[in-house]
Amino acid sequence: MTASATMKYSSIKRAKSRSKAIHIALITLSCLLGLIFAFPLYWLLRGAFVSHSEILARPPVFFPEQLNADNFKLGLERIQFWRQLWNSVSIVVPYVIGTVLTTSFAGYAFAKLKFPLRGMWFVLVISSMMLPSAVTLLPQFSLYTSLGLAGKPALIIPAFFCAGGNAYFVFLLRQFFMTIPGELSEAAKIDGAGHFRIYSRIMLPLIRPAMIVVALFSFINCWNEFFYTMIYLKTEADYTLPMGLYIVNGMRIPNYEQVMALALVVTAPCLVFFLIGNKYFVEGITLTGIKG
């Protein structure tokens, strides 16, 4: 009796110490993986600040002797920087506004308002995110061309119609609206509030965190957009910043450090928004199982 008890005790103890060893090994593994993941970002940072002689030096220079800000100056001179920055901003800002407005409208309608064929429209709108973009490409292009909108407007307009991948956000916001109890809007209805008032005064304040998520993701999606900008922006004066970077990279210039500096400039807004919105990113993904 006692013998078997001690045996059992020692086997549990052994099992425990073994699982602790596994635990530590796995944590070490995750940390190593994390280092590998962080390294390319460090390499980008390093590349933007090293001098020309250091960037391809053998053995590699891991820490530049001095931070070289000239790379940025020379890199930016290779593109029409201010012009292209303005192009990017003037596309991103209305894009984000349009996305936040119309996806929250649609999310509200599909979650809270009863109207005929609601289920059908919802499925159709959502299914558009499973569509390969190539199948709508040419007719869209002809449509925009015939309306004289085949340029910047063609990149902004989809945001105002929940198109171009924004069906994601309709789904996300609908999930959020569904979590708001119906009693709230019922009470407001009895007080004589219309549907728009309920949406703007009661619903919006409640789903603010979700709206921030949508704004952040749509900023990053739009800033990083490349396929459609290649199609609709034709001259260098119309290019966005990523396209400016693409052209400079395509020239295969020997000054990698300048390309890296430009790449860092293009990446910086995304990193800044990530650092600001980190909490919301994780929260948004967590709540929906959807990423931007």
Partner 1 sequence: MNPESKTGVAPVYVKKHAKGATKEAVAGYLFAAPAIIGFLVLTLYPMLASLFYSFHKITILSGSQVMDWIGLDNYRYIFNNPSSEFKKSITVTLIYAFVNVALVIVFCLIVALLLNRKFISRNLLRAIFFLPSVVPMLATTIVWQMLLQNQAKGGLVNWLLLQLGIAPVEFLTDPIRIFETLFIMSLWTCGGTIVVFIATLQDVPGELLEAIEMDGGNAWHKFLKVTYPTIKPVLFFQLIMCMMTSIQIYTQSVVLSRNGAPDRMTYFINVMIYDHSFVQVGMRGLASAEAWIVFLITMVITGVLFYFQGSFKRDDSMGTRKRVRL
Those residues with Cβ within 8 angstroms of residue 49's Cβ, 6 or more apart along the chain or in another chain: 64, 67, 68, 69, 71, 257, 261
Name the residue nearer to partner 1 (CB basis): 2 or 103: 103
Name the residue nearer to partner 1 (CB basis): 38 or 237: 38
Least CB distance to partner 1 at residue 160 (A): 6
Instruction: Write the single-letter amino acid at 96.
Output: V
d(CA 142, CA 180): 42
Least CB distance to partner 1 at residue 70 (A): 19
Least CB distance to partner 1 at residue 205 (A): 17
Those residues with Cβ within 8 angstroms of residue 112's Cβ, 6 or more apart along the chain or in another chain: 177, 180, 182, 185, 203
Least CB distance to partner 1 at residue 189 (A): 8
Name the residue nearer to partner 1 (CB basis): 81 or 105: 105
Name the residue nearer to partner 1 (CB basis): 2 or 61: 61
For the chain, what is the radius of gyration of the CA atoms?
Answer: 26
Least CB distance to partner 1 at residue 184 (A): 16
Those residues with Cβ within 8 angstroms of residue 246's Cβ, 6 or more apart along the chain or in another chain: 226
Name the residue nearer to partner 1 (CB basis): 188 or 231: 231
Name the residue nearer to partner 1 (CB basis): 167 or 215: 167
d(CA 198, CA 189): 8
Strand runs (DSSP E) across 79-173, as ranges?
Answer: none
To 10 degrees, what angle do helices 256-288 and 241-250 make? 140
Least CB distance to partner 1 at residue 108 (A): 6
